[in-house]
Amino acid sequence: MHLIDVTNSYAELVHSQLNTTDATYVKVYSLGNTSVVYTESKIAIGIVLENHDRRIRENEVEFVIKRLVKNHDATYTLTVDRSRHLIEIHLDK
């Protein structure tokens, strides 16, 4: 698995996130058919995984956490929609 930085292709999304939320940093990645949006503010980190074609696999979630969360001992909240097409990971700083 590889996270590919595709932030430049999502300039409107990044601009919107920075202007309408308290986010100070936004990156967009591709993990195959799964899109990953990493958002950081002064108090929290949010990571959203979205796949319109299939359910998001557990190993994808673990891979993203391992790659994007610097403190591997950090406690996070995982929110999963019923269909597993959208997963949110929230970490307080």
Predicted TM-score (pTM) of the model is 0.92
Residues 76-88: what's their mean pLDDT?
95
Q: Which residues of 30-63 are buried (b: 16+ CB within 10 A; e: fewer)?
A: ebeebbbbbbbeeeebbbbbebeeeebeeebbeb
pLDDT tens digits, one per residue of 45-68: 999 999 999 999 999 999 999 999
Note the pLDDT of residue 30. 97
Angle 63-56-19 (CA atoms, 0-180°, nearest 5)? 80
Query: What is the rounded CA–CA span in Å between residue 36 and residue 30?
Result: 6
Matching CATH number, 4-92, of 3.40.50.150, 2.30.130.10, 3.30.360.10, 3.40.1720.10: 3.40.1720.10
Domain boundaries, the chain: 4-92
